[in-house]
């Protein structure tokens, strides 16, 4: 392709190459009106996503229809403002929490609102549907639906349910163009005090990012590796990267 | 005396309670319990002699190498003329006409981060802007940064999958809008040395084929950069995130000796045509608390201590990524704006080429209006550089910063220009006129040919 381009062609050419906001119009030094308003709309959607509540009943119905039992839990956070200001409380179970399992299990799955209830509402059921058949042979604790939850709330939940590992599917911090991105965090031997370095993460799960099947495949691989080798975190991450290199999924796996 | 009703058992408690309210100090349990207590603490702090900060380290000397660095490199001779001042006197001095650029430059080695943090706490925003505008800090690699009347930008062409064509598209977009004189710096999504090596070669080719007077950086861990240097990758600047305590730096996987080793390696490449400032550091209030390594010290003071780490390595650029950390450390626009002004002031007073990523995340109570305010105030304060992100939307890191257009706005408003070598290049390449206004892109753009090969 040659390089004789009008400014309009150039903008289109650049925009075809990245999701970044390149090739924007200009009025003097300022951005053009349409671009300013488009940005404001995207930001409004992201802000609304942060402050939206999870419809736990609807999610529970979806979980049951996939053949899973479910439990409910909440963190010690009373409201959204406190959630944003006190991550420590979002990692602690509410005082009246009573979680019990019938017996020990290989894996506990937690569906957590995190910073985007919209993400877990929309993407957790289809991801769970894609993941469940890949977990054959493993014993599963009931799925826990957790409100006002941080990733590390999975640690006391997994411990209470006597699970060897806990998988937290949680709404990620909304980006301007991704208000509904789901993250998956896997922790072996969950208990309070685990650090992020002891977890594995698969992020940006949504149809426009990492698709359900690709994410489920990667998560299932991590779960089996974690249970076989008795660890998650930095030690496991390198190996999963290697597999991704050898068997490219065609999708990006970001890190948080 | 109002403050006699308020006991402050030690210096670090006094410093914390004197800090303008922010969520990170509250999270750490360090904040004043009331507004009156906070002002009483400021009154008490104003009466503290500067000498006391030398006698009473806030973080233990024996167990913290940052404290040792601060104490062992303090220039007592330079400090002598202001040794008798209190913190309050020091504020009055900084705002006086006697405190001009040469005086402040000479004084910097006599100042510790704790002294600078202390005076910062009793200054209003306008004080931070005026006093912060006084020191002139000039650094060089392939161009000259920090000259009066100049505002530089880091072109930040991040891409969610590090796709070379996507990165190149954002670089071209930025160059067409006059961005990139501080550095063209990519935050990679991957930590793979193969991917990072490819990005370094892409940047190197763009800069050399276009004869662009700027420098490149891929912002990965210092150990990865050291390995890449050994493998012959074209590394201009060594990047690292740093913090104000040894334990926080350890959580980042760095130490002073490792930073020194990396600097030596980069100097050995001799890639800077004009100068040998080869380090690029990023910092941000709250990082020590986030790492569980704050030792009961408030986050603004710890941030200033990170600048003591930075200045030991003669950096080309220091960037406080002010609103990235989230609302549990800086809750809203007001706190982010205040912190940005504090960081710029403290960095400049300590002699650093201070830039600011004027930014916020979507869970903070902030928006682009707040960024406009902070950008304008920092430019008025003479900030060395800000970020240039396509449309202010970083699609890899998922946060909002300042756009190429934002830099054009503030340059136009305040009559600021990019680094002189870069300004001349823009004019020579037909991308800007003599007044610095972007021109319609030339119909044949050599840079675009690069896209065809990617």
Higher pLDDT, B313 or B441: B313
Q: Is the pLDDT of residue A1 over 60?
A: no
CB-CB neighbors (< 8 A) of B172 in chain A: 14
pLDDT score of A4: 59
The residue among B151, B155, B173 with the most chain A CBs within 10 A of its CB, best to mutate, is B173
Chain A residues in contact with B191 by the CB 8 A cut-off are 255
Interchain pair B400, A173: CB under 8 A: no
CA separation for the pair B95, B75 (Å, rounded):
23
Flag whether pLDDT at B324 surpasses 60.
yes
- Residues from chain B that touch A26, judged by Cβ atoms under 8 A, are 177, 405, 408, 438
Q: Do B405 and A4 touch (CB under 8 A)?
A: no
Q: What does chain A look like in DSSP terms, one character per residue?
A: ---B--HHHHHHHHHTT-SS--S--EETTEEPHHHHHHHHHHHHHHHHHHHPPP-HHHHHHHHHHTT--EEEEEBS--SHHHHHH-HHHHTSB-TT-----SS-EEEEEEEE-TT-HHHHHHHHHHHHHHHGGGGTTS-BPPEEEEES--GGGHHHHHHHTTEEEEEEEEEPPPBTTBTT-EEEEEEES--TT--GGGEEEEEEESTTSB-HHHHHHHHHHHHHHHHHHT--SHHHHHHHHHHHHHS--SS-----
Across the interface, whether the CB atoms of B452 and A35 are under 8 A apart is answered no
Mean pLDDT of A26-39: 96
Q: Are B158 and A20 in contact (CB < 8 Å)?
A: yes
For residue B441, name the pLDDT band (cuts at 50, 70, 90): confident
Q: Which residues from A are below 8 Å from B367, CB to CB? A: 43
Range scoring the smallest mean pLDDT among A28-42, A76-90, A239-253, B288-302: A239-253
Q: Please give the pLDDT value at position B120.
A: 98
φ and ψ at residue A178, rounded to 5 degrees = -145, 75
Residue B192: closest C-alpha in chain A: A241
Residue B447 has a pLDDT of 77
Residues B418/B181, Cβ–Cβ less than 8 Å: yes
B27 touching A (Cβ < 8 Å): yes
Could you read off the pLDDT of B370-411 as tens digits, one per residue?
999 999 999 999 999 999 999 999 999 999 999 999 999 999
Instruction: For residue B100, report the phi and psi dihedrals to the nearest 5 degrees.
Output: -100, 180
- Report the SS3 class of residue B56: coil
pLDDT more than 90, % of chain B: 94
Q: How many CB pairs under 8 A join A and B?
A: 155
Q: Do B169 and A14 touch (CB under 8 A)?
A: yes
pLDDT score recorded for residue B259: 98
Interface of B with A in 308-327 (CB under 8 A): 326-327
% of chain A exceeding 70 in pLDDT: 90
Contact B331 A84 (CB under 8 A): yes
Q: Which of A38-47, A189-198, A243-252 has the lowest mean pLDDT?
A: A243-252
Contact B393 A21 (CB under 8 A): yes
More confident residue, A197 or B155: B155
- pLDDT at A113 exceeding the cut of 60: yes
pLDDT of the residue at B76: 98
A7 closest CB neighbour out of B26, B411, B441 = B441
| Residues in B touching A175 (Cβ below 8 Å) | 362, 395, 398-399
pLDDT tens digits for range B212-253: 999 999 999 999 999 999 999 999 999 999 999 999 999 999
Residue of B nearest to A256 (CA): B397
In the predicted structure, residue B331 carries a pLDDT above the cut 90: yes
The pLDDT, as a whole number, for residue B420 is: 98
pLDDT category of residue A101 using cuts at 50, 70 and 90: confident
How close does chain B come to A46, measured CA to CA in Å? 6
* A17 contacts on B by Cβ (under 8 Å): 163, 165-166, 168-169, 451
Secondary structure (3-state) at B314: coil
A-chain residues near B171 (CB < 8 A): none
- The confidence score (pLDDT) of residue A237 equals 61
List the 190-219 stretch of B: residues with Cβ below 8 A of A. Answer: 191-192
Instruction: Please give the residue of chain B at the shortest CA–CA distance from A251.
Output: B161
Whether residue B363 and residue A84 make contact (CB cut-off 8 A), yes or no, is: yes
- Which of A17, A49, A152, A172 should one mutate to test binding to chain B, selecting the residue with the greatest count of B CBs within 10 A? A17
- Which pLDDT score is estimated for A251? 33
Preferred mutation among B363, B364, B368 to probe A, highest tally of A CBs within 10 A: B363
Q: How confident is the model at residue B4 (pLDDT cuts 50, 70, 90)?
A: low
pTM: 0.93
Paired tokens of B78: 């330079």
Token digits of residue B323: 């609103």
pLDDT at B37 exceeding the cut of 70: yes
Instruction: List the structure tokens of B147.
Output: 């000259």
Are B217 and B186 a contacting pair, CB within 8 Å? yes
Give the distance from residue A252's alpha carbon to the nearest chain B alpha carbon, in angstroms: 6
Tell me the two tokens of residue B182.
């501080």
B73 touches A at CB < 8 Å:
no
Query: What pLDDT was estimated at residue A254?
Result: 32
A21/B391 CB distance under 8 A: yes
B363 touches A at CB < 8 Å = yes
CB-based contact B166 A17, cutoff 8 Å: yes
Supply A35's token pair.
């671009």
> B252 — contact with chain A (CB < 8 Å)?
no
What residues of B are in contact with residue A205 (Cβ under 8 Å)?
Answer: none
Closest Cα in chain B, distance from residue A250 (Å): 10
Nearest CA in chain A to B29: A86
Phi/psi for B14 (5° steps) reads -60, -45
A85/B163 touch (CB, cutoff 8 Å), yes or no: no
On the CB side of A87, how many CA atoms lie within 13 Å of its CA? 17
| Other residues' Cβ atoms within 10 Å of the Cβ of residue B26 | 16
Distance of CA B165 to the CA centre of its chain: 29
Mean pLDDT of all residues in B427-438: 94
pLDDT recorded at residue A9: 87
Reported as type and span, the H/E element at residue B201 is helix B193-209
Mean pLDDT of A102-115: 96
CB within 8 Å of chain A, chain B residues 138-177 = 157-161, 163, 165-170, 172-173, 177
B435 burial (CB, 10 Å; 0-12 / 13-18 / 19+) is exposed
* Non-local CB neighbours of B151 within 8 Å, separated by 6+ positions: B379, B383, B384, B385, B386, B407, B410, B411, B414, B416, B417, B418
Looking at the predicted structure, is the pLDDT value of residue B360 above 90? yes
Nearest-Cα residue of chain A relative to residue B194:
A245
Residues of A in contact with B408 (CB under 8 A): 26, 29-30
Residues of B with Cβ-Cβ distance to A254 under 8 angstroms? 160, 189, 396
- Judged by a CB distance cut-off of 8 A, whether residue B349 touches chain A is no
Whether the per-residue pLDDT at B2 is higher than 50: the answer is yes
Do A3 and B361 make contact, defined as CB atoms within 8 angstroms? no
Q: A51 vs chain B: nearest CA distance in angstroms? A: 9
pLDDT digits (tens, 9 = 90+) for B267-292: 999 999 999 999 999 999 999 999 99
Residue B49, chain A, CB below 8 Å: the answer is no
Residues of B with Cβ-Cβ distance to A178 under 8 angstroms: 398
Q: Read off the pLDDT of residues B40-87 as tens digits, 9 standing for 90 and up.
A: 999 999 999 999 999 999 999 999 999 999 999 999 999 999 999 999
**A101 Cα to chain B: minimum distance (Å):** 33
Cα dihedral B220→B396→B281→B15 (10° resolution): -130
Q: Return the percentage of chain B with pLDDT > 70, whole number.
A: 99
CA B19, B21, B22, B25 dihedral sign is positive
Q: Which pLDDT score is estimated for A238? A: 44
**Average pLDDT of span B177-200:** 95
pLDDT at A245: 41
């Amino acid at each position: 392709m040659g390089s004789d381009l009008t400014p309009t062609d150039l903008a289109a050419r650049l925009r075809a190459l990245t999701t970044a906001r390149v090739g924007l119009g200009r009025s003097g030094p300022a951005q053009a009106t349409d671009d300013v308003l488009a940005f404001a709309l995207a930001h409004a959607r992201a802000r609304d996503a942060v402050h939206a509540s999870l419809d736990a009943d609807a999610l529970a119905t979806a979980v049951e229809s996939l053949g899973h039992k479910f439990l409910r839990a909440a963190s010690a956070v009373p409201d959204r403002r406190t959630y944003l200001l006190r991550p420590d409380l979002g990692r602690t179970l509410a005082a009246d929490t009573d979680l019990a399992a019938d017996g020990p299990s290989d894996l506990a799955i937690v569906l957590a609102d995190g910073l985007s209830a919209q993400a877990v509402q929309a993407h957790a059921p289809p991801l769970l549907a894609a993941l469940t058949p890949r977990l054959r042979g493993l014993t599963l604790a009931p799925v826990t639906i957790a409100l006002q939850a941080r990733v590390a709330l999975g640690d006391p939940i997994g411990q209470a349910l006597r699970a060897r590992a806990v998988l937290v599917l949680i709404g990620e911090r909304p980006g301007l163009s991704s208000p509904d991105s789901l993250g998956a965090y896997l922790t072996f031997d969950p208990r309070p005090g685990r650090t992020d370095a002891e977890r594995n993460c698969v992020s940006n799960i949504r149809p426009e990012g990492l698709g359900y099947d690709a994410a489920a495949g990667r998560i299932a691989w991590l779960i089996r590796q974690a249970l076989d080798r008795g660890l998650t975190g930095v030690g496991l991450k390198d190996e999963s990267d290697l597999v991704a290199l050898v068997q490219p999924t065609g999708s990006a796996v970001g890190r948080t | 005396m109002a403050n006699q009703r308020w006991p402050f058992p030690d210096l670090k408690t006094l410093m914390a309670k004197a800090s303008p309210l922010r969520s990170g100090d509250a999270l750490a349990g360090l904040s004043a319990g009331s507004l009156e207590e906070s002002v009483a603490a400021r009154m008490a702090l104003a009466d503290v002699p500067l000498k006391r900060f030398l006698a009473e380290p806030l973080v233990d000397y024996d167990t913290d190498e940052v404290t040792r660095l601060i104490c062992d490199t303090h220039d007592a001779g330079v400090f002598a003329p202001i040794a008798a001042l209190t913190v309050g006197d020091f504020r009055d001095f900084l705002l006086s006409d006697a405190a001009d650029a040469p005086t402040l430059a000479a004084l910097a080695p006599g100042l510790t981060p704790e002294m600078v943090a202390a005076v910062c706490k009793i200054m209003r925003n306008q004080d931070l802007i005026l006093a912060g505008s006084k020191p002139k800090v000039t650094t060089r690699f392939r161009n000259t940064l920090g000259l009066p009347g100049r505002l530089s930008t880091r072109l930040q062409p991040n891409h969610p999958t590090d796709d070379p064509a996507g990165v190149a598209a954002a670089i071209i977009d930025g160059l067409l809008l006059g961005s990139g004189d501080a550095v063209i710096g990519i935050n990679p999504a991957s930590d793979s040395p193969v991917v990072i090596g490819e990005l370094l070669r892409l940047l190197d080719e763009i800069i050399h084929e276009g004869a662009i007077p700027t420098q490149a950086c891929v912002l990965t861990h210092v150990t990865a950069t050291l390995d890449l240097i050994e493998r012959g990758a074209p590394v201009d600047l060594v990047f690292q995130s740093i913090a104000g305590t040894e334990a926080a730096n350890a959580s980042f996987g760095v130490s002073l000796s490792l930073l020194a080793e990396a600097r030596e390696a980069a100097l050995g490449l001799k890639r800077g045509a004009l100068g040998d400032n080869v380090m690029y550091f990023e910092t941000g209030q709250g990082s020590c608390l986030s790492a569980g390594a704050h030792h009961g010290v408030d986050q603004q003071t710890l941030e200033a201590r990170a600048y003591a780490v930075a200045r030991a390595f003669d950096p080309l650029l220091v960037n406080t990524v002010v609103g990235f950390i989230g609302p549990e450390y800086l809750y809203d626009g007001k706190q982010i704006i205040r912190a940005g002004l504090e960081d710029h002031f403290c960095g400049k007073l300590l002699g650093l080429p201070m830039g600011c990523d004027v930014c916020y995340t979507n869970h903070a109570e902030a928006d682009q209006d707040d960024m406009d305010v902070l950008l304008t105030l920092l430019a008025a304060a003479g900030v060395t550089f800000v970020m240039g992100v396509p449309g202010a939307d970083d699609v890899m890191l998922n946060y909002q910063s300042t756009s190429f257009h934002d830099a054009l706005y503030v340059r136009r408003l305040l009559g600021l220009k990019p680094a002189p070598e870069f300004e001349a290049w823009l004019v020579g390449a037909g991308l800007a006129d003599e007044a610095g206004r972007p021109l319609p892109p030339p119909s044949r753009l050599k840079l675009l040919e690069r896209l065809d090969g990617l």
